[in-house]
Chains A and B, each alone.
Chain A
Amino acid sequence: DGGITQSPKYLFRKEGQNVTLSCEQNLNHDAMYWYRQDPGQGLRLIYYSQIVNDFQKGDIAEGYSVSREKKESFPLTVTSAQKNPTAFYLCASSVDRVYSNQPQHFGDGTRLSIL
């Protein structure tokens, strides 16, 4: 079955540590996205990538970094510079909008907590 896999489901970080969240998709989608969800709020865009080896900052990119070395993979690193990293992180992918309006499909998320 095609889909988006995020791992791990739960992640704990100590103060001052960087952590990397994994996102893999086998939908053959060109575009991939990272969102953050906080309680009572909608999803906010952290980074997106429309093609391999290219990515752009979203609305709340400070304290985060990404890479896109393969079409299937878009890992997110939460750095120690992110002052409030506790949140639910969601990865999504979609067909490139240039061709048609197609929905983004989401993984099941990673919940990151600070120890």
Chain B
Amino acid sequence: DQQVKQNSPSLSVQEGRISILNCDYTNSMFDYFLWYKKYPAEGPTFLISISSIKDKNEDGRFTVFLNKSAKHLSLHIVPSQPGDSAVYFCAASPMNTGFQKLVFGTGTRLLVSP
């Protein structure tokens, strides 16, 4: 039972354009959502997060949108740069566990071409 789904295994975008990465979840108890970026043979690096009390959070070129009614999360990268090429994981944490139990999606590989 996959509670966090990233249905697009890969995405290709040209430099300067917008990259939109999507994530769907099924557990209505999730209240904290995160995006991580991962290069090969390295650990994930935290990018941006959002609490369920918000519907948007912005940090520089990165914006995360949360649609609770649709149980949908998206990450927008504007403008995209070649250095953004990596695998992006979304993750979610439920509110009732007493600790930060992250559930991860399977990742989307982003390729930004010059």
Contact = CB atoms under 8 A, between A and B. Distances in A.
Interface stretch (A12-20, A63-71, A100-108): A100-108
Contacts of A105: 46
List 10 tightest A-B contacts by C-beta distance, closest first. Answer: A42-B104, A106-B43, A97-B100, A103-B46, A43-B104, A108-B43, A101-B32, A42-B106, A106-B44, A107-B43
A97 B43 contact: no
Contacts of A109: 41-43
B100 A94 contact: yes
A102 B89 CA distance: 17
Interface string B23-65: 0000000001010100001111110010100000000000000
A43 B105 CA distance: 8
B106 A41 contact: yes
A42 to B, nearest CB: 3
Contacts of B45: 106
A42 B4 contact: yes
Nearest to B5: A42
Interface of B: 4, 9, 32, 34, 36, 41-46, 49, 51, 89, 91, 93, 98-107
Interface of A: 4, 6, 9, 31, 33, 40-45, 48, 50, 58, 90, 92, 94, 96-98, 101-109, 111
Contacts of B43: 4, 6, 90, 92, 106-109
B102 A45 contact: yes
A104 to B, nearest CB: 6
A105 B91 CA distance: 13
Identify the interface centre among B32, B36, B44, B98: most chain A CB within 10 Å of its CB. B44
B59 to A, nearest CB: 12
Contacts of A107: 43
A96 to B, nearest CB: 7
A96 B99 contact: yes
Contacts of B102: 33, 43, 45, 104
